[in-house]
Amino acid sequence: MRQPAPAPDDDLKLSAWLPYRLFLVAAQVARPLEGFYGETFGLSQAGWRILAVIAERDGANASEIGRACALDPFAVSRGIGQLVELGFAVRRPGKTDRRFAAVSITRSGRNAFNRIAAFGSAIEARLLARLSEAERVTLDSTLHKLEAESARIDTGGWRSLLDNTAAS
């Protein structure tokens, strides 16, 4: 019977890896939120994300929505279709180019968004209640830095990361 090789100390440990830990926190709070908007409004995850974007940026086009939600064009199209079907959004042709339809939230969509946002805010408040004011300020500052660096990592792509690792 073969024994597994011991892991070197410098190997990545998933349970201690920052991106995985951030993912777990996000996934654990997303599940109850998803259950709420799914059961209450019949929304998919993409539908909810798009609804949140158009609640903030009424009249956004599919391309803008995709960037804001980190969704591929197919998921954006399906999500917009779902919102239109539910009566939460309307799609209007672009003024100069019909390919760039503007998506606007309806009164019904705004009401749904407000209820989901209130539930989401309650989740956020519960998380933040575990932190002191100083920890909240530090967390906010830290997240800004991580968001900026993760955007640079994403823009550079995996090959750039591999090149940087080899050069180190």
> Could you report the per-residue pLDDT of 43-84, keeping only the tens digit for each?
999 999 999 999 999 999 999 999 999 999 999 999 999 999
The per-residue pLDDT for 6 is 61
Nearest to 124 by CA among 35, 45, 42, 26: 26
- Residue 97: the pLDDT is 62
Q: What is the CATH code for 28-130?
A: 1.10.10.10
**In the structure encoding, which two tokens stand for residue 24, read together?**
């777990």
Alpha carbon distance 10, 128 (integer Å): 33
- Kindly report the backbone phi and psi dihedral angles of residue 162, in degrees, each rounded to the nearest multiple of 5, phi listed first: -65, -40
- Report residue 52 as tokens: 């949140």
What pLDDT is stored for residue 74 in this prediction? 95
pLDDT over 80 (residue 164): no
User: Running DSSP on this structure, what letter comes out for residue 16?
Assistant: G
